[in-house]
Amino acid sequence: MGILEVKGVNKRFGGLQALGDVNLSVAENTVHAIIGPNGAGKSTLLNCLVGKLIPDTGSVMFDGQSVLGRTPYEINQMGISRVFQTPEIFGDLTVFENMVIPAFAKRDGSFRMHAFESVASEKDIVAHAEEMLTEVNMQDKIHMHAASLSRGDKRRLEMAMCLLQEPRLLLLDEPTAGMARADTNNTIDLLKEIKEKRDITIAIIEHDMHVVFSLADRITVLAQGTPLVEDSPEKIRGNPKVREAYLGEAA
Amino acid sequence: MLGLNKKDMTLLIVVAILTLLAPFILNPFPVDSGMAQFNAGYPDLMQRFVIFGILAIGFNILFGLTGYLSFGHAAFLGVGSYAAVWMFKLLSYNVVPAILFSVILAGLFSVLIGYVSLRRSGIYFSILTLAFAQMSFALAYSVLSNPKFNLTNGETGLQVYADDPQILHRDGLPDVPHLFGWAMRDNFLELKLGGWEFTFNNGYYLCAAILLVVFYLSIRLFRSPFGLMLRAVKSNQQRLNYTGLNPKPYTLAAFIISGMYAGLAGGLLASMDPLAGAERMQWTASGEIVLMTILGGAGTLIGPVLGAGFIKYFENIFSKINDNVLHQWFSFMPDGMEDFLVFIVHPFVGKGWHLTLGILFMLVVTFLPGGLVEGGQRLGRLVRSRGKKPEDPKDPEHHPKETPHVAE
Amino acid sequence: ITNNPTGGSVTLGFNVPQTGPYADEGADELRAYELAVEHLNGGGDGGMLNTFSSKVLDGTGIMGKKVEYVTGDTQTKSDAARASAKSMIEKDGAIMITGGSSSGVAIAVQGLCQEAGVIFMAGLTHSNDTTGKDRKANGFRHFFNGYMSGAALAPVLKNLYGDDRKAYHLTADYTWGWTQQESIAAATEALGWETVNNVLTPLASTDFSSYIAPVLNSGADVLVLNHYGGNMVNSLTNAVQFGLREKQVNGKNFEIVVPLFSRLMARGAGENIKGIVGSTNWHWSLQDDGSKAFVKSFGEKYGFPPSQAAHTCYVQTLLYADAVTRAGSFAPCDVAAALEGFEFDGMGNGKTLYRAEDHQCFKDVLVVKGKENPQSEFDLLEVVEVTPAAQVTYPPNHPMFGGDEASLGQCNNGA
Amino acid sequence: MNVKPDFSKNANLAATAPAYLSIYDMHAYYGESYIIQGISFNVHEGEILALLGRNGAGKTTTLRGIARMDDPQVTYGEIWLDHQHLHTMKSHQAAKCGIGLVPEDRSIIPGLTVEENLQLAQIVEPIGWSIDRLYDLFPRLGERRKQEGVTLSGGEQQMLAIARALARDIKVLLLDEPYEGLAPVIVDEIEKTLIHIKEQGITTVIVEQNAVRALELADRAVILDTGSIVFDGTAAEVLENAELRSEYLAI
Amino acid sequence: MDAILLQILNGLDKGSAYALIALGLTLIFGTLGVVNFAHGALFMLGAFCAVTLQRLLSLSYETIDETKTDFLGNPLKVKTPYVEGWFGPEVGGAIIDWAVPLSVIIAIPIMVGIGYAMERGLIKHFYKRPHADQILVTFGLAIVLQEIVKYFFGANPIQTPPPDALLGVVNIGAAFGLEIAYPIWRMVYFLFSVAIIGGVFSFLQFTTFGMVVRAGMADRETVGLLGIDIDKRFTTMFGLAAAVAGLAGVMYGPINPPNYHMGMDFLVLSFVVVVVGGMGSLPGAVLAGFMLGILESFASTTWATTTIPGINQIIIYLVAIIVLLTRPRGLMGRKGVMED
Ligand SMILES: Nc1ncnc2c1ncn2[C@@H]1O[C@H](COP(=O)(O)OP(=O)(O)OP(=O)(O)O)[C@@H](O)[C@H]1O
Ligand SMILES: Nc1ncnc2c1ncn2[C@@H]1O[C@H](COP(=O)(O)OP(=O)(O)OP(=O)(O)O)[C@@H](O)[C@H]1O
Ligand SMILES: [Mg+2]
Ligand SMILES: [Mg+2]
């Protein structure tokens, strides 16, 4: 029994069957990669996990509890964090403030009216945020407006925000797209390190096979809304169907 | 100190000094001079400056931080005023219960209106609040002043009559709003220094003290985690949601707080002048609050107060300059010249004060996108850079800002 | 006392609408005030000073002090009007406030002047409440009111349209509208007319067609428009558009009545006003000496005849100056005592009494009709009847005026 | 701040072929931040130039400057395209002269369907490929022609952005990370398309994090670092120069 | 029955005014994304085009009639309009009589010109600025325009009567044996607005203009990349919107006499109409305009006001609240248009 159990999920957009009977089980403390051609429904699947979309049918269980019918913030409070395909950050705020918010969310839950303390006096929160920024190597950008970061940095910031919450399940939608090779490697290292340090399950969508094969314990290949195969990385690499439909010469 | 950082503390102290010395600062001209027209240091206007300042500070907590543009805040102002006058009618002229009740009632109203309106965002939210406010206005102006259950006294405005119960009223207390016998309308000191006159009014200092308290609270709020969350709401609600935070209670709390600020302002208005009219709730009044905030600089701490002062100054000072006054000003000139100048200035003052206000709105927002606060900052920078060497810090020889090559 | 003039001059506060829909009316009031000040200070031809029955004013200002004035903008909002009045009192040292063109504003400012201890000489305010339930010891009204309109109109209406009529009222949904409707309905019902319906229209209405249309099928043969200003112009225009005036109902010509007329409204209504009956406080075509003198000095100064608002404001200023002089004091209580029960003549409207109990003037009321063939752009109304003061007088405790409870309170000299 | 362009590095570029697109001493700001600090390079007719560098090096800024977008403000310098001076133009004029930019965030226009997004590109002359021809190139787009553009999957949006550029008759195609978020097979497809486009005589500037892929495709390469050019030469040179690769590209 | 039909007709009529104003507003607010508080002022300026033409046509020379006197007892100056002098009283009188319809011709270029000037001179700097700034600047502009009009024309309403031929009422129910007397000019106004609405729709539907402008509003930058000079189109759009608002005003004069603040009276309502209709949706604006017009008409019936006192005061706002709560984007709003 995995920490995340997706059973018989369907999702239609008008005439398009974006997800057709998806079953997926992600085991605890593993990295599970979801790959597949563009438009296969990978992001749609993640959307169903975090409450952005509600599947037409099927069930999604996280740690034995259904996530369906819950709002995104409740799902996050259950321990699921997500990095989006196009970075979702607080553009008007500074990098530091971007980090502080998840720290509060983690400590205080979904709403607390702390209107008279000052942010600066919350020593633990500040320390936590700064520490995480150092980990992703962004301490020099701490006072920049998030909107004026370059694209790669935005992604790193978003990932740091999610990691700071120490989620039990981290969903990454193409976290290294547009990242420089060096940073991609750093990201891989970071994820590995974090996985070693704490209990964390990661589901990752990626087109960069280097990333996928360096991290993944298991891989699901999604095509046209249905899982094609699920297997270990080695097997997937050798699978001719996958090679033809998806990997091309990259394999 | 007081949990503020140095910059905020300085700001608070500056504001405190300015408000406490306002009777001097606002009356810079001797009474008999031609410029006396521009003096603003009389009790009513000073009270209005601070009361509308409080209103705008409260509005800014909602709009400046969360970006939710309420077009119905005047409703809370009106509710606050009605609540206060009802307290005068039922209990006594003491302002304490009146102010407390106006804050509470406005708070309750804002829970109701906020809960419903906040189900939508953006322009839809604005229109919802506008609709609620316009309904409140219509109800107050006519429906609720129906003689059978006269809650608002309609066009005339709610006021205290001799036959009202006033159950806590005792002999010896003044028959005007007072703070434990200290009448709001009285002046505790009237100073005459040479040609100058300065009035120190009880009501003004009560309002000023309250302003300082709520200003302090708003600084704390701006710098607090709660304030940060509100700014996050403005920036990206999606991300907030996916970070495990529900934006709703934050925005609702901001809405209620700003509604209570508006109610407080309404209660103070009634305490300074015990009559509550329905026009206070009209959309134009709500629009005025919006304009004050943007004009001063939305999202800044002091901006809304400046904006409120600016608009109220025009309303009260410029509207009173008539041709007679103009002729006095220019009387030192030769006759033809005098008439010509009066002719030129005439359309912009007195009954033309709206025109001047409109033009200034356009100028300020076009040239100072951040409102008056930005104007102040630019001025400050100008003054500061004077001291330095006139050298362009950005590599002057290599890329001057204007070049013949690049057309913008 | 508040703002007792100590120097060589005395300051009056003219608080009129300078912006908003009544700005033109306010402008006319201001002209009248300036004229009055000129006359009080001995300038011009003296206007009504020459015809006024009291002769204490001699063109040397008030009690030898030169009259100066400050102006303010009421915006036709109680809040703004009070703010403006306060600034005149607190900043400019005004000893008397006057002006306004709506009852809400008049009552609000009157209350303020009572508290502040200055005299308020109301401008144009027609609601019964101003000298009814909201009467104040420091406040005085020269203008007539809703009850007087009804009392003056009723006999004329009976003459013109008979005593078997069915009236349909459209009423502006606020205090002034209600009191006027109540007064007119009572006066016409006393004649034998039937009030078929009274529909309240929102103040903010700009188009009245949906209120006019039901009139057609209601069986009514008279439409009474209890509207003022822009509301009246629009509702009358709409009523004429819908062909009400050409209709025959119950075998009679359908008629429209507008109880309160002003020349500015008449001008706004244009052609539509022709033949429509209403009442007014004063009209420039009156031929008594006072009116003629006033029209002459106003007309020569500004090039057109004064409106009723201008007239009432002018007269109020002179009356105040006269009362101060007679009392020999600027103290509001002394001035009030001099005005109370004061009888005078030569200011238009014939013999006039400032009644002591409620500070309302009692004088002749004009019933007018839109003129069919105007000779000039000002010649819009013709006087049908001058109703004598006696016919419009009512007891001070009349139920429409607050009954027995209404009281002036104590006069306030201020501090 | 005071960085002068080092012309010695690109002294050798001149004579070989006539410069087609030529950037001379360009300086650009975002508000107060000085990003592009005087860069000069040439692109020859019909070639593919790879513009490389780390995150935040200024690649996107350079492309936006060439396309004459409102932001960044190019405060100094000249940009010539085929004897026309772009630096005096606004973006729509530059586009009429033949500049086609595929922005890094794809900029699919909300509220418009796929087809409308393409039609929009053909409102103003000169018009390039027909819409049908574009659908032939990207059949997925043809299938989704009535779908709102922004609901496309990430990869589909990338295809739409490229298709939209080709819908205009362009002389120079500026591609900002065209492979980002694309499945490996599609990357292969697009690479073929780029070669095809090159054969049509269209000049291409490609910005790409996947430096190796870009270099294999490109004729020449320019490497940017913090707003200055650190290398200008043939693609092969970069692939050979290990120092360069590790220092600036981390490969 | 007659009464109900009459109320519907009345609603249609009020609805046409709402719809026309909201249509123009949608072009600016819903399409360009500019919160234009000066839109009401454009409506007002349109009405004053008619007033101005009427005044111009009535420009007169004075002759002195010794037999009559004016109010001061001086000989009366009689005014005769020049046009009557030139063309004779008959033709001249007819020209003056048709001043309002004639003003449509001059109003179009004037309003387009005003729209152009406004956009080029002011609004274009505000596309990228927050809505709040747009509100402030356009509100300032509205005040300035109003005050200028007030300076020249006063605050009082000014009659702009329809031509005599279009005065009076027709019984449009006669064919069905019903008695529905309806003013001719209101019929004209309704038909006129239908024509304008149709014209605008076909202009935007059958050309790609609308699509380009919508795209430009959503993402100016990208549209520029596609070679489109969006600024020019925005200006054109603004000119068009100003013309629509102005024409609505020209023809409205005979229904209710224009005054300088008539625009503000309509402004708030037209924002409500646009939002209820759905931002950026032209059909939505028109539909909401007519719907609210008719509902308001029904709410003013005696039956309605006795059932719920004061319903006529609040109906529009009440409906707006209900619609917005049940249909998040208004009646016909599209996703993604001005949602933040
Ligand atoms: N809101 C929507 N309305 C209509 N169709 C949609 C919507 N969202 C997604 N789709 C379609 O559903 C399909 C799956 O999209 P999804 O974003 O899940 O793909 P993906 O696997 O993440 O692809 P990529 O790797 O390119 O990001 C796509 O064809 C997309 O066009
Ligand atoms: N709008 C902006 N305002 C201020 N600074 C900006 C803005 N956009 C980008 N920058 C800064 O300009 C620098 C260059 O950014 P640019 O986007 O050109 O980098 P890039 O080379 O394209 O990087 P990436 O590979 O991450 O996309 C970065 O330091 C970035 O932080
Ligand atoms: Mg995806
Ligand atoms: Mg980039």
If DSSP states are collapsed to H, E and C, what string results for chain C? CCCCCCCCEEEEEEEECCCCCCHHHHHHHHHHHHHHHHHHCCCCCCHHHHCCCCCCCCCCCECCEEEEEEEEECCCCHHHHHHHHHHHHHCCCCCEEEECCCHHHHHHHHHHHHHHCCEEEECCCCCHHHHCCCCCCCEEECCCCHHHHHHHHHHHHHHHHCCCCEEEEEEECCHHHHHHHHHHHHHHHHHCCEEEEEEEECCCCCCCHHHHHHHHCCCCCEEEEECCHHHHHHHHHHHHHCCHHHCEECCEECEEEEEECCHHHHHHHHHHHECCEEEECCCCCCCCHHHHHHHHHHHHHHCCCCCHHHHHHHHHHHHHHHHHHHHCCCCHHHHHHHHCCEEECCCCCCCEEECCCCCEEECCEEEEEECCCCCCCCCCEEEEEEECHHHHCCCCCCHHHCCCCCCCCCCCCCC
Any atom of ligand 1 within 6 Å of the Cβ of A81: no
Q: What is the pLDDT of residue D19?
A: 65
Q: Is E229 within a domain?
A: yes
Could you list the beta-strand ranges (E) of B253-338. 275-276
In the numeric block, the tokens 């060589």 are attached to C8
pLDDT digits (tens, 9 = 90+) for E23-41: 888 888 777 778 888 999 9
Note whether A158 contacts D: Cβ–Cβ < 8 A. Answer: no
Which neighbouring-strand residues pair with D23? D41, D79
- Pick from C173, C268, C271: which is nearest to E161 by CB? C271
Q: Is B158 within a domain?
A: yes
Question: Among A110-114, A145-149, B13-17, B310-314, which is the least confidently predicted range?
Answer: A110-114
Q: What is the pLDDT of residue B136?
A: 92
- Mutation test of ligand 1: which of D151, D186, D189, D190 has the most ligand atoms closer than 8 Å to its C-beta? D151
Distance CA(D33)–CA(D71), nearest Å, equals 12
The structure tokens listed for D160 are 């739409």
Residues in chain C within 8 Å Cβ distance of B328? none
Residues within 8 A of E (CB atoms), D 81-100 only: 90-93, 95-96, 100
User: Which ligand 2 atom sits closest to the C-alpha of A152?
Assistant: 26
- Pick from E219, E227, E280: which is nearest to D124 by CB? E227
Q: Is B205 within a domain?
A: yes
Q: What is the pLDDT of residue E340?
A: 46
Q: What is the pLDDT of residue E334?
A: 65
Q: Coil, strand or helix: which one is E261?
A: coil
Q: What is the pLDDT of residue B404?
A: 29
Q: What is the pLDDT of residue B389?
A: 43
Question: Among A6-20, B170-184, D4-18, E124-138, which is the least confidently predicted range?
Answer: D4-18
Q: Domain containing E18: what range?
A: 2-326
Distance CA(C183)–CA(B74), nearest Å, equals 34
Is there a contact between E154 and C216 if contact means CB atoms under 8 Å apart?
Answer: no
Q: Is B39 within a domain?
A: yes
Q: What is the pLDDT of residue B399?
A: 36
Residues in chain C within 8 Å Cβ distance of E310? 173
Q: Is B393 within a domain?
A: no
Q: Coil, strand or helix: which one is D170?
A: coil
Check pLDDT > 60 for residue C337. Answer: yes
Q: What is the CATH classification number for the domain harbouring B108?
A: 1.10.3470
| Chain B / chain C CB contacts < 8 angstroms | 112
Residues in chain B within 8 Å Cβ distance of E136? 290-291, 294-295, 361, 364-365
The structure tokens listed for D155 are 């990869």
Q: Which residue is closest to A147 within chain D, CA to CA?
A: D30
Q: Report the relative pairing of strands C381-387 and D19-30 from DSSP bridges.
A: unpaired
- Mutation test of ligand 1: which of A6, A11, A34, A38 has the most ligand atoms closer than 8 Å to its C-beta? A38
Q: How far is CA C173 from CA A78, B144, B370, C256, in A?
A: 57, 11, 42, 19
Distance CA(E174)–CA(E165), nearest Å, equals 20
Residue D149's pLDDT band (cuts 50, 70, 90) = confident
- Residues near ligand 2 (Cβ within 6 A): A 148-152, 178; D 30, 33, 35, 53, 55-61, 104
CB of E178 within 8 A of CB of E2? yes
Rounded to the nearest whole angstrom, what is the distance from the C-alpha of residue D65 to the centroid of ligand 2?
Answer: 12
Total domain count for chain E?
Answer: 1
- Mutation test of ligand 1: which of D152, D160, D187 has the most ligand atoms closer than 8 Å to its C-beta? D152
Q: With the CA atoms of B99, B103, B109 and B111 taken in that order, what torsion angle do they form, in degrees rounded to the nearest 10?
A: -170
Helix axis angle, B225-235 to B202-223, nearest 10°: 70
Q: What is the CATH classification number for the domain harbouring E42?
A: 1.10.3470
Question: Among B44-53, B141-150, C141-150, E237-246, which is the least confidently predicted range?
Answer: B141-150
Check pLDDT > 70 for residue A248. Answer: no
> What is the separation, in whole angstroms, between the first and last Cα of chain E?
46
C215 C-beta neighbours (distance < 10 Å), count: 24
Any atom of ligand 1 within 6 Å of the Cβ of A16: yes
pLDDT digits (tens, 9 = 90+) for C368-405: 999 888 877 788 888 999 999 999 999 999 998 988 88
The CATH number assigned to the domain with range A1-79+167-251 reads: 3.40.50.300
Is there a contact between A179 and D209 if contact means CB atoms under 8 Å apart?
Answer: yes
Residue B279's pLDDT band (cuts 50, 70, 90) = confident
Any atom of ligand 1 within 6 Å of the Cβ of A39: yes
Q: Domain containing B240: what range?
A: 6-282
Q: Which residue is closest to C198 within chain E, CA to CA?
A: E302
Note whether E224 contacts D: Cβ–Cβ < 8 A. Answer: yes
Note whether D215 contacts A: Cβ–Cβ < 8 A. Answer: no
Q: What is the pLDDT of residue A93?
A: 92
Residue B391's pLDDT band (cuts 50, 70, 90) = very low
**Range among A239-248, C317-326, D232-241 with highest mean pLDDT value:** C317-326
Q: Percentage of chain E with pLDDT > 70?
A: 96
- Nearest alpha-carbon partner for C21 in B356, E156, B352, B284: E156
Q: What is the pLDDT of residue A37?
A: 85
Arithmetic mean of pLDDT, D133-144: 88
Which residues, 6+ apart, have CB-to-CB distance to E302 below 8 Å?
C197, C199, C214
Total domain count for chain B?
Answer: 1
Ligand nearest to the CA of D226: 2
Q: What is the DSSP letter of A165?
A: T
Rounded to the nearest whole angstrom, what is the distance from the C-alpha of residue B280 to the centroid of ligand 3?
Answer: 52
Is there a contact between D34 and B398 if contact means CB atoms under 8 Å apart?
Answer: no
Q: How far is CA B357 from CA A123, C20, C21, C86, E136, in A?
A: 48, 15, 18, 22, 11
Q: Is E113 within a domain?
A: yes
Q: What is the pLDDT of residue B1?
A: 62
In angstroms, how far is CA C348 from the centroid of its own chain? Answer: 14
Residues in chain D within 8 Å Cβ distance of A40? 153
Our CA-based measurement puts residue C79 at a distance from the nearest CA of chain B, in whole angstroms, of 7
Please give the model's pTM, rounded to 2 decimal places.
0.90
Check pLDDT > 60 for residue A28. Answer: yes
Rounded to the nearest whole angstrom, what is the distance from the C-alpha of residue D120 to the centroid of ligand 4?
Answer: 25
Q: Is B381 within a domain?
A: no
Residue spans of alpha helices (H) in chain E: 2-25, 39-57, 82-97, 99-121, 131-153, 184-206, 209-218, 220-225, 230-252, 262-277, 282-299, 302-307, 311-326
- Mutation test of ligand 2: which of D33, D73, D74, D177 has the most ligand atoms closer than 8 Å to its C-beta? D33
Note whether D123 contacts B: Cβ–Cβ < 8 A. Answer: no
Check pLDDT > 80 for residue E124. Answer: yes
Rounded to the nearest whole angstrom, what is the distance from the C-alpha of residue D176 to the centroid of ligand 4?
Answer: 7
Is there a contact between D107 and E212 if contact means CB atoms under 8 Å apart?
Answer: no
Question: What is the ipTM score, two decimals?
Answer: 0.88
The structure tokens listed for E231 are 């600024």
Residues within 8 A of E (CB atoms), C 61-120 only: none
Is there a contact between B277 and C108 if contact means CB atoms under 8 Å apart?
Answer: yes
